[in-house]
Amino acid sequence: MIEDPKVVLVTGAAAGLGHAVALALVARDVQVGICDIDEAGAARTALDCAEIAQDCASVIISDLATPDGPDQAVREMLARFGRIDGMVNNAGYATVEAFLEMTAAAWDRTFEVNVRAVALLCAAAGKAMKVRGGGRIVNVTSPAARMALPNYAHYAASKAAVDSITRTAAIALAPNGIRVNSLAPGMMDTEMQERTERMMAEIEGRSDFEAYLDERTARVPVGVRTNTEEMAKLVLWLLLDAPDYVTAERFNGSGGLDRD
């Protein structure tokens, strides 16, 4: 097992949780590959990282939804840093469709980004980590994986698949000193969260968006939403600080919304 991970690939790092994770890693003297399809957003994350520590972040532009995207991202990481000690599979896609109006296009896009890319990245990074003698992978899942959400079926199903991939990868890679776990964040302060909830409100015929948000927040037992900085702390614990015996686990950071 790599005792002190120093080179980490973070996907979906242009904004949201990925951005927060990248900054938190740099603050821990970790070199970060900022992987995203959004070149401008990734560049902004790199600039924010540079304000914390110089020469600790490198931008990797990759469309992970393409068949070669995951391998390309890992190859680029190895070309830049020569190694990968850890990876955060954070890139995700979400859209909202009424169950009776679901489209094949939405299912395909959701599973290309949220499922196939995660599996292929685990395999590609796993090969590189095996050479190093170990590593750690954190996959971002969701409370939605264990909920019945008729207007959000493709996303919920994709995150259930992430849970399965996490367990499978953990068992497959355990003999190589690689630990694989997942984090299910609650409702966060991200653009993706707001965009998704606006689509949900529209499809449910709700014009009172603020009241709609309040109702959703009220479902959280602790009574408030979380933020990306708080969730980044959990990611870093799994990636850098968790005992080596922890693998194949699903950690909830949802304020009690997601309960085992």
3-state SS string for 160-227: HHHHHHHHHHHHHHHHHCEEEEEEEECCCCCHHHHHHHHHHHHHCCCCCHHHHHHHHHHCCCCCCCCC
Among 1-5, 58-62, 180-184, which is the least confidently predicted range?
Answer: 1-5
Share of the chain above pLDDT 90, in %: 97
Q: CA–CA separation, 250 vs 204, rounded Å?
A: 31
Please indicate, yes or no, if residue 43 is contained in any of the structural domains.
yes
Domain count, the chain: 1
Task: Please give the average per-residue pLDDT across 33-47, as a whole number.
Answer: 99
Domain extent at residue 169? 7-95+103-186+227-253
Is position 219 within any domain? no
Does a structural domain hold residue 197?
no
Could you tell me the pLDDT band of residue 214, with boundaries at 50, 70 and 90?
very high
Q: Does residue 238 lie within any of the structural domains?
A: yes
154 with 95: CB under 8 angstroms? yes
Of 93, 155, 212, 245, catalytic: 155
Answer yes or no: is pLDDT of 1 > 60.
no
Is 155 annotated as catalytic? Answer: yes
Residue 205 placed within a domain: no
Give the pLDDT score at 35: 99
- 198 part of a folded domain: no
CA distance 258 to 240: 24
Distance CA 136, CA 240 (A): 8
Answering whether pTM is above 0.85, one says: yes
Question: Residue 61: which pLDDT band, with cuts at 50, 70 and 90?
Answer: very high
H or E stretch covering 142: none
Domain CATH for 107: 3.40.50.720
Q: Is 180 among the domain residues? A: yes
CB 85 within 8 A of CB 6: yes
Considering the domain boundaries, does residue 200 fall inside one?
no
